[in-house]
Each structure stands twice: as structure tokens, then as C-alpha cells.
Structure 1
């Protein structure tokens, strides 16, 4: 404890008598006036601001013996007491107000807490100091318990901590400024976990700003309330060591990755209790087994970093270090993650480092200046979303964001980060007209600061969380998004294949009679399919803003609509690339997604919708169990065209290969309602090709047209291959056939 006790200020000199409490609070150095001061050898003066006190006395450390009464020197609540002591006194303050007596420690009797090295590391993007040193941290100083508050605000004239513990009165706890790093700090003893707090900040011109939430808060109030909440520290004993060890040994490029994208607030509600949200712990019991049963390997959560506006779906976040309190506590969220790991499910977080909202309690104009954002709106304001863009070129901002990525991967054992709106970060002219943006120092449109940030974030993420992945939502042809940084890439593990999504959805929404004229929408993606490590996304963005649902995009009568969707899913799961499907798509939700209401689970009473769900389950299990469908998702050697040019029949076919020479699957799609009888397709190897998935099976709601479980390849060359299959291809259907070399006595 003694190491944090402050030395006497200007020994032998009485501190200047302030004219008002406001003068003390706004001084920027309250410790020069408040706390203990040796005014002459052996004579000490204690000063404290206690606006609500009736009387105050200096007492010994046990709170029993009065060492000196304190005189109210200013009507606003400045109390001063004088006592004799041969050395710096160890004292407490006994406060009486309205008949209530309380003994407190004096915050201004403590010295500095952050070392010069701590201050320096806060601006180091490779360090974890942002969240281990900034924010509010519980301390126990030899029995004196409290919280150390620290905040970066270099341009503020003064900052006070306000909260439940001081009646939200900014006069009570002004902070000490550490000029060497723009950091303000104050240890406040006796405050308790779960109390609310904010920062009261006066800008560089002395103007008071709206109360600010802590940028590093580990918990926050449930919106519309906006305060930060004190947390004692990680209060969760992780039991997922086996999962973490196994994850670190994986090569995700070769592993099956089928992602269930989920908005926790609308996956399911509790209608009988006012349509309330499910909690994290309830979701652990309901969502995780559901996803496990359907064969998905990961859940991707739409952002759960605390956000004020439900309509942003979490993409306009305020407290990047706090899991949203809508669904429970940080400990509850940790329990959700651990339950997923126990079930063999990874958790990926949608993470938003591109921009932040302009809510007054947030990061905007944080210390009275454009601290986190660019001052020039041509660089710092996102016109489409009405949000601020981070100033990636500022070292402290880069550190704030990189540390946040590391925080979620380390503190909450998350298995990946899907980074939102990467294109908006990379391009200075993103969604801007000429004259609305500023070129970089070379005259180009590349955001050099954002590029440096992205590379550093990926390097730190992969170094600090072995086996975790990062995924870019990047909608342009920026080269090397998922290439290592040492080769000049951005360093992501994977990239969403937005081109594939747009092309194929455009194709499948056409009436089958016109699809022959759009056949290239199916094949074009293979020209670049292996230039990146791709995830094939059917995300939330495709079922909002008037776009309808996936099943709503399908043409034809009811039977054809469902058959189209099933054929499309089979095509997707057989296509190279990892898979992502937004919730509701797995059972063909009919209406457009609404973030305020639960999914339409009653649809599963219909055999059509149940059939789609059955298909998605079987596709996931086939994808995981058939090496040829996942081992070379990201390698051109794992793909070979069999039929690419039959536009007249809207038939397409290819072979997928695994690492083993005889690991082979054939994918065939017929995108017309006409069955194709005796359709010959060349294949590279002889043997029985087992029908692993037929999207026209009766189990899925189809007509049950097929090949009686499998077809034996004939020694008849076709399509440039030495063997061939004669197939019945069902209408509006996809077949996935797997080579079974041990059947029919064939030894290959």
C-alpha cells in the first residue's frame, strides 16, 4: 500500500488558498491542493472536497480517534484540517451528513499508479496495456479496496469521475493529469463493483461536454441507459482448455467451416414475458444445441459490443470492450462461449473497427477535440451511415482498436473476428464523389493508415490467439486480402466472396426459362475462386431493406420455389469455399428479417420448411464427413470442371478432390424443372459413385427422383475424362456423389 501513498507537496509551504471549489476542480492538478500537505516541519494540512457533508474530521486509520476537526473553508464543500505528525499521516475522513456517519479513505492521499512504462505501452499496438491499464480496474491495496480510473484525453482541461458513489457530482473526484501521455488517473477507494460511472470532461476551452462513457468499460447499462459499470475483473473460471489446445493445432483452410450467422436479439424471444430477449445462458441452452444438431461448426454473432440503437443491429457500437447487457452480464457471455466450446462449436464475433456513432456519451469529440476521429469530415465522417471514421493514423487510436481485437480473443476465448466494412476503411473515396475526399500523400485513394492498422491487427490477433481466424467483409477486388502480411497482403485468414453471392443470387432469382442466358453467373466465380481464402456468404444483408427472404427470391410456384432453394443450397455446399448462412435461411423463413421480432419458428410445422431444414443438416454433415468437400476449399488442385458449358439445359457439374488421391466427390446441378434422364458426365476415376446428397429427396420435400443410391462409372470416356456416369438428374436439384472405391469389388 505504501508505494502508492503520495509524497508531501512542497514541504514547508502552505498550498495556495483557492477561491472556489471550481478553481480546484478545473486546475488539472487537484493533488497540488487536495490531500495531505506538509506546510511546515511536523505540521500537516488535509484538504478535501465533500459537498454533501455537514461535518468532517480527520481520524486515525481505525476510524476511532479524531486527529483533527476539519473546517468548512468554502460553502461548496472544501474542508481543511491541520494536525501535527512527524511523518506523512495515515488517516481517514469521518463524514457526517443528515445524521449518517461514514468513514472513508481520501483518494488524494495516494500517489501515481501508472508507471512511465505503462504510459508508453498504452500507445503500442502490440501491447495489451490499453485494456490492462486504461479503464476502471479493481485494486486491493493491503486491505484498501477500490477502483483505479484511467482515461486517455490529452486535450481536456480537466476530468472528473462521476457515478453512484458521489451523486454524479463532478466536484468530488477530479483526476490527475499525466502530461507525458495525455492520460488522466485517479484511485477512488471504497467504491464497489456494479456501481455506475462516467467521466465529466471539460474541453480545452473549459466547456463541459456531455458525460462520457468509459471507452474501455468492461460492462455497460442496458440501453437506453448509457453509464459504464464497474467490474471487479474476469470472474469466470474457464473449463475449455481441451478446446483451445485442439483449436491451436488446426489449419482452418483445410477444415470444414460452416457458419451460422445469428442476431441474438431476434433468433428467438419470450413472447409470454413481454417478448423479452433470451439471456446468454438461455441461448446457451437453446441456440447452441440447435446449431450443433444442424451440423454447423461455428456461430457468427452480429455485433454484441455494447450499442445504443437496436436498429443498428450492433454495427454502431459505443463500448467496444463490453458485451451488451441486453442479454446478461460479461460472465453470462463467457458462459455462453464456453458452452459452445463444450459442444464443439466455435464463436466468431462481427467486429466493427471502421466507424462509430455520434451519440454524445460516446467517442465523438471525446475530450472536446476530434480525438478518435479525423477533424476533416472528408476523412472523418461516413456520409452513408452518419457515423465517424476512426483516425487510423493516430498511434493511440490504432492501439485502442488492435488491443480490442486481442481483448475479445484472449479475454473471452472467441474463435474469430469477422471484420465489418473493410472496403470502407481501405478506400479514401469510398462512397464519395470527387471533391468529397482527400488523396493520400502519394495522390492515391488508398487509406494508408487503415492498411497499416489492418495488417497490425491481423498480426497481433494470430500471434495472441493461436487457432483463431479473422475474416474480412471486403466487397471489392483489393488484392491479397487473405494473404500474409509478409507477402504484402492484409493478413486476414479469409474473405467473404461477395461477388459469388451477388452473381449466384442474381442467377437463381431468374425464371428457369431465362437462366440459359445467365449461365456465366454460375461459372464466373471460378475464375478467381482460389485467389483468396473465401467464405461463401448468404448473410443478413441479403434479407433486409426490401430484399425479402432467400425463399422469397425464388421464382415459380410453391414447389418450384422450395426446389430452387434446395438446389441452390446444394450448389453452395458443393462449391469451393467455406459456408455462411444467416439464421432463418435454414428453414426458408418467408418474410424479410426483422430485428425486433423472433424468427417464424411455427413454419417448421410445414413439411416444406422442415424439408429445407433437414437438407441443411445433411449438407453440413456431408460437408464435414467428406474430405473432398472441404480439404481443398482454398486450393485450385481441389477443383475440376466436368460440365461448365451446358447452358441450354442449365446443367453444371464439377469434381472436388481431397488430399488423398482417391478422395473424390462430384457435384451436379440442374437448374430447370425438367428432369434430365440418361445424362452422361465424364469422371476421372472408375468405381461406385454413391449419392450422398440429393436435394430432390422426399425427406426434403422433393419428388424423390434420383439414381437409387448410386451409379457405377463406365469405362467410357466423356468430357475429357477416362470414365463417365449416366445419371438421372432430378428437376431443380443438386446431386453430390462420392466415390466409394471399396464397393462392387473395385480396387483402385
Structure 2
């Protein structure tokens, strides 16, 4: 007799039975084996045994399409299903044993399964010589979970999954399923609702508005970048000059389609290398449903954007970058996730990935949900995602978005809208633990990778090592420097004397973190205007201001980041629906800015004093920081080698300064390495005819000095002649 009653069959037929393996598949019964299968809509089902016996016709035991047949012995078998017009032969999912091992389940429960994409999601594999796909999903509060897809008519009754009790993980092996198949998960909640959910661990997705995951190919990519991977070092003081890109709007075809990864390999890579940048940073390329979020509301933490090509094509692009000497950094978003119904929100009918209480679990600014960093499985999900991009795709670093919103429980909340931590404070202790764990994991499993924080507060030690009490990031964006200097450069030059400290204040804390100086997408959108648009004055002055500002930025302590389009002074602010204004880039003044950026990168990479002491206060010295009436600044960048010392002099007024004396460490000839006012950049070509001789006239605490001509709205970079 079966160990179930007709009510169990009714529940199975209705898709409301949570233990399908108790009924379906082979079961020992009084010396023979009973096999049951559910095939709704089938006209008939036969058992085909491996021993080659005559097919065994299964009898229908429930009108919904539940069939039963008997084997004389415990033999392997296949099912032959007559659909009334077509016949399908396949292996039975319910004859395969549990596949996830006890160690996997243990690590999942502890939040230490860092190879999560090899454990959960859809993994193509062979079991006893049978090819197929193992599906696994964490949904501990679900009453039933099924795999649905184009292979089973999206019918949740046909492939209900097995619950691995204790871990809250459901799994099922579907033999014969091919790479490229579409699938989702159908979840029955405790209150009887049916949810259709995307796989959180999917490696590949359909493009929006479609929402199905795609069974991806988990075979390794054939990399050619071994030497690059061996040499990279996140803590190096080498030049780091980053070109930030929103991939879908960098360049588009005439019909509006963005360039794909293979096309970008032939266009973006040579463009960026020609400009001398060392790295490309992509705004989030993880699959996301709404383009207007720029990727900062991702629904997948493991799959690249489908509109740009396949996962292997993205790997091909990264490989080509590395061969060309370019690093790749990805923006990554663990601070929040969107509320799309097919995503992580109330994934199994409960607040699984988020907090139940909106005071902890809802971002008012972005109308998004906040991960529950206190759950082992949620931390595991996110850390495994970061490691996945660093390992699977060889990316060189991740920039963590919105870190400030993670660190503080009262971030952008009024009194009464937030819950204090267990000590009564505002710090988000669980998020801090998550960031520390993330840093440790990357250090151990992805050595040489960068971990960059977009963090806008004065939280101490963001880029200090974990063992020294820091958060363990390798770099931090210097948002204060960016705001101060942009406020200054937007002033009419006649008023800059009243804002002089905006340009010097950043040096008070410049060496408290390993800073990157960012002019990012956030500064050239939403009515803030482009970088060129922020500049005051007539057309000539606007371009001169821009060239001077970029030259100031490239010679200040800190690594560099510039958002696409600003390298040629795009006139309009960035619009994610349009490509960059490429015809404008060829105009003389715009081309001059691009030429300047190329030369700034060349000088930055060639002169050790401009990069190797970015995080060392001994490498910077103000010579002139108080000439507010003339808006002139001068400083030294220096190493322990006096021959590598760099002098920078900036004049932020449109008035030329003649015979302006600046102290230098030693007499002799000083070469004008770069002049932002050079004619080749679109300037007035006022300067010092390539250099000047230092006299033994003491000035600014130096034994010698130069008498210089300072060009209007110009920056000079000089070096002692070698």
C-alpha cells in the first residue's frame, strides 16, 4: 500500500505538495519497485528499462496526469510520454538521489560557501553519465518550490523540488536539459500564494522586459592573461588613472543599440589606452530591469547585462583589456536592491533577504530594500557575488556603491524612522561586520584585487587594513575634495579669492585615507551640468578653466577617476539614453582637452613623484597656498630622489602673471613638462619657452627660485632638467 492517501495525490496534482519525492520516482513495495510520475496533459506514459525489457505501460491514478507503473527489480529507467501528437523520452528527475553534500549544506548555513554559484542556481553537470542541470535555491520558508521553464510548459507541477531540511535549500536535477534553456522558480508560500521568482544565482538572463533566467555554461573561459593576473597589486603605489564608463551610452549604433562587448573590445579598449588611462571602471553591468537606474538597482548579482552580449563575451572583453595593459573595475551594489516582484523582495513569502521592519529594510531615498546583513546566508550571497566577478571574470577590483548608507542606521532618516543598534548607537554593526568579512575574503581568495569605497563621511580608517582597525578597503573616493574644488572652479575668477580655501582644505586630510579623486557620473547629471558647463566665462575661458582644473586634479595627491565625455569636455550633461557627443569631440577646443588628458596621463605615469607618493604626506609640500588675491597656487610633488621632484604652479584667473617668483629646491634649468595653456590644447600659448633657469634667490623656504610667466587660467608642470 502507498504511504500516502488520495488527499496527497490531490495536493500533488494541485501543486501544493511540498515533498514530491515521497510520492514520485521509484519506491520499494513488497519485492518490486513502484514508479510514479506526474505529467499533466499526457495521453499515456511508458517505462523504458535499461535492461531492454518490453515497455511497461503506466496506469493513470489521478485525472491530473499522475501515472504509476511497476518494475520487477530496481532498474534504471526512462519515461516515454505520449502528448497526443508527439512523443518525448527522458530520464526521470525523481530517480536521482540528493546531490548537495552535507559539507555544502553546512557551509551554506554558516554563510561560508564562497563558491555559491557552483552550489546554488543552475549548474550543468553529469550524474551517473546522464547530462542535465542541477537546480538549487535557498527558500527556507516556502511550502513548495518548482523549476518552471520552456522545457515543461512553465508548469510548476512537473518539476517540484526536494527540500534539504535544516539548510532551507531546495534542489532538483533535471536530466537532458540543455544550456540555454529558460527557467524561473515557482514558489508556494505559507499563506498559499504562488510567486514566480528569478534565480538569485543565475549566471545569465533574458533582456528586459523578459524576466527568465538562462541556464548558463559553467565551463571555464580560456584566459590569456596569466602574466597580468600575477603582477597586479591593489596596494601598489603605481599610477591609477580610471576612465569611468556607462557601457550602454558610451557609443551606440545608428538604430540606438549599444555596442556589444566584442565591438567594445575593438573600440573602447584602443580609445582608453590611447588616452593613457590605466583602468576602466564600469557602472554596474549586473543584470537590472530598469535602464534609468544606471545599473544601481540590480536584480542579479551574478549575471552580466544581457543587452551587451553573453557572459563569455564579457570575459573576452576583460581578457582583451588585460592583454592591452588595462585593468577593469566594476561598480557593485550591496547597499540595496529593487522591489520588482520577481526579484528578491519577500522571496519565499517572507522577508528573506531584507528586514521585516521598514525602518531597517527600506531606503526612503531610492525606494529600494536593504539587505539584512545579520543573516549568514545573505552575507554569503553578497560576498560570493563579489568573489564571483573577481574569479570568474578576472576583474581587477570592485567599487562598493553607497557605503555611507550601509554604515549608519540613521542614514537619510529623521528621528523615529530608524532603530538603534544593540548598544543604542547609530552605527550599523551588522553592515560593518559584513564589510570586514568582505575585505578578508577578497584578500584571501582574490589577492591583488582592489576594493574601493564610495563613502562620503568622515568614518575613520575606511581604507586601513582590518588588522589595524580599518574597514579593509584598498581605496576610498575623496568626495570632500571633489565637492570643494568643483565649488571653487564654478566661481567667477574675480570671486575666487573669497573661496581660496576650497582648493587647499583637502590637503589637511589628503593622507588620512588611500584616496581616489573622482569626477564621476554623479557630478554631470540631473541638472548639475557637464564639467565644461560648470566653468564660468566666455567660451575660451570655459575651456581654459576646464584644462586648468583637470591639470590641478592630475597633480594633486590621490589616484584619478574621470567620467566618460569629460575627457573631451562634452558640452551637455550626461544622458543615459544617448551616446556621447562624438562629433563634438572632434571640434578644436574639445579635441584640445582630449589631447591634454592624454598628456596628463602620460606625465602622471612617467613621473614617479606624481603617483608613488599619493598616500605619503612627505611627497607633497605647499610652496604657495596663501596667494588668494591672485588665485595662484604652487606645490611640490617629491620622492626621496631630488631629481624626480615636480613643481606645479596654477593660476586660476584670466590674467597672465609675469616674473612671478616661485621657490624651488635647487638651482639649474627646470623643464616645462606641461603647460595647460599650450596652443596644442587650444590655449593662448603663453609660457616660458619650454623652461626656466632657477636662480640662487631664496623664496618660499627654498634656497633657489624661478621667475615664471604664468599663463591665464593655466597650470604649469615643471621638473629639474636631468
Cα gap change, 1:99 to 1:555, in 2 (>3 Å) = same
Q: Name the residue aligned to 1:594.
A: 575
Q: Name the residue aligned to 1:220.
A: 205
Q: Name the residue aligned to 1:514.
A: 495
- Partners of 1:669 and 1:252 in 2: CA distance: 30
- Partners of 2:632 and 2:534 in 1: CA distance: 20
Q: Is 1:628 the counterpart of 2:616 in the alignment?
A: no
Give me the TM-score of the superposition, normalised by structure 1: 0.95
Q: Displacement, 1:687?
A: 2.9
Q: Is 1:183 the counterpart of 2:169 in the alignment?
A: yes
Q: Displacement, 1:355?
A: 0.3
Q: Is 1:654 the counterpart of 2:622 in the alignment?
A: no
Cα gap change, 1:36 to 1:543, in 2 (>3 Å) = same
Q: Is 1:69 the counterpart of 2:52 in the alignment?
A: no
Greater shift, 233-242 or 722-731, is seen at 233-242
- Partners of 1:683 and 1:21 in 2: CA distance: 90
- Alignment equivalent of 1:397, drawn from 378, 385, 402: 378
Deviations 1:166-213 (A, max 9, x none): 00000100000011101000011111110100000011222212x100
State how 1:148-163 maps to structure 2 within 5 Å.
148-163=134-149
Cα gap change, 1:123 to 1:653, in 2 (>3 Å) = farther
- Alignment equivalent of 1:584, drawn from 550, 556, 565: 565
Q: Is 1:23 the counterpart of 2:12 in the alignment?
A: yes
Q: Displacement, 1:570?
A: 0.4
Q: Name the residue aligned to 2:71.
A: 83
Q: Would you say the 8 A contact 2:115–2:388 is kept in 1? A: no
State how 1:68-467 maps to structure 2 within 5 Å.
68-85=56-73, 88-209=74-195, 211-247=196-232, 250=233, 252-271=235-254, 274-467=255-448
Q: Displacement, 1:98?
A: 2.3
- Partners of 1:345 and 1:261 in 2: CA distance: 13
Matched position secondary structure for 2:303: strand
Q: Name the residue aligned to 2:674.
A: 693
- Alignment equivalent of 1:645, drawn from 618, 626, 629: 626
Q: Displacement, 1:659?
A: 4.4
Matched position secondary structure for 1:222: coil
Deviations 1:63-102 (A, max 9, x none): x6434211111111101112321xx221111111122222
Q: Name the residue aligned to 1:487.
A: 468
Matched position secondary structure for 1:122: helix
Q: Displacement, 1:55?
A: 0.8
Cα gap change, 1:376 to 1:14, in 2 (>3 Å) = closer
Q: Displacement, 1:283?
A: 0.5
- Partners of 1:380 and 1:310 in 2: CA distance: 24
Q: Name the residue aligned to 1:55.
A: 44
Q: Displacement, 1:52?
A: 2.9
Deviations 1:258-294 (A, max 9, x none): 00000000000001xx211110110011001000000
- Partners of 1:285 and 1:22 in 2: CA distance: 56
Q: Is 1:44 the counterpart of 2:18 in the alignment?
A: no
Q: Name the residue aligned to 1:3.
A: none
Deviations 1:97-125 (A, max 9, x none): 12222211010001101111101112444
Matched position secondary structure for 2:18: coil
Q: Would you say the 8 A contact 1:409–1:416 is kept in 2? A: yes
Q: Would you say the 8 A contact 2:648–2:716 is kept in 1? A: yes
Q: Name the residue aligned to 1:5.
A: none
Q: Is 1:715 the counterpart of 2:696 in the alignment?
A: yes
- Partners of 1:425 and 1:123 in 2: CA distance: 24
Q: Would you say the 8 A contact 2:570–2:585 is kept in 1? A: no
Q: Would you say the 8 A contact 1:22–1:171 is kept in 2? A: no
Unaligned runs of 5+ in 1: 1-11, 743-748
Unaligned runs of 5+ in 2: none
Q: Would you say the 8 A contact 1:628–1:659 is kept in 2? A: no
- Partners of 1:642 and 1:158 in 2: CA distance: 71
Q: Displacement, 1:235?
A: 4.6
- Partners of 2:658 and 2:63 in 1: CA distance: 96
Cα gap change, 1:251 to 1:275, in 2 (>3 Å) = closer
Q: Would you say the 8 A contact 2:547–2:714 is kept in 1? A: yes
Matched position secondary structure for 2:391: helix
Deviations 1:430-488 (A, max 9, x none): 00000000000111100000000011111111221121101100011110000001111
Q: Displacement, 1:15?
A: 4.7
Q: Displacement, 1:661?
A: 4.0
Give me the TM-score of the superposition, normalised by structure 2: 0.98
Q: Is 1:605 the counterpart of 2:586 in the alignment?
A: yes
Matched position secondary structure for 1:522: helix
Q: Displacement, 1:14?
A: 5.1
- Partners of 1:465 and 1:739 in 2: CA distance: 41
Matched position secondary structure for 1:435: coil
- Partners of 1:118 and 1:265 in 2: CA distance: 38
- Partners of 2:584 and 2:4 in 1: CA distance: 75
Q: Would you say the 8 A contact 1:162–1:200 is kept in 2? A: yes
- Partners of 1:381 and 1:16 in 2: CA distance: 45
- Partners of 2:266 and 2:155 in 1: CA distance: 43
Deviations 1:133-192 (A, max 9, x none): 011101112431100000001000110000011000001000000111010000111111
State how 1:525-540 maps to structure 2 within 5 Å.
525-540=506-521
Cα gap change, 1:284 to 1:79, in 2 (>3 Å) = same
Q: Would you say the 8 A contact 2:474–2:514 is kept in 1? A: yes
Matched position secondary structure for 1:668: strand
Deviations 1:686-724 (A, max 9, x none): 332211110000000000001111112211110111111
Q: Would you say the 8 A contact 1:694–1:706 is kept in 2? A: yes
Q: Displacement, 1:245?
A: 1.0
Matched position secondary structure for 1:223: coil
Q: Displacement, 1:38?
A: 1.1
- Partners of 2:45 and 2:549 in 1: CA distance: 76
- Partners of 2:202 and 2:250 in 1: CA distance: 27
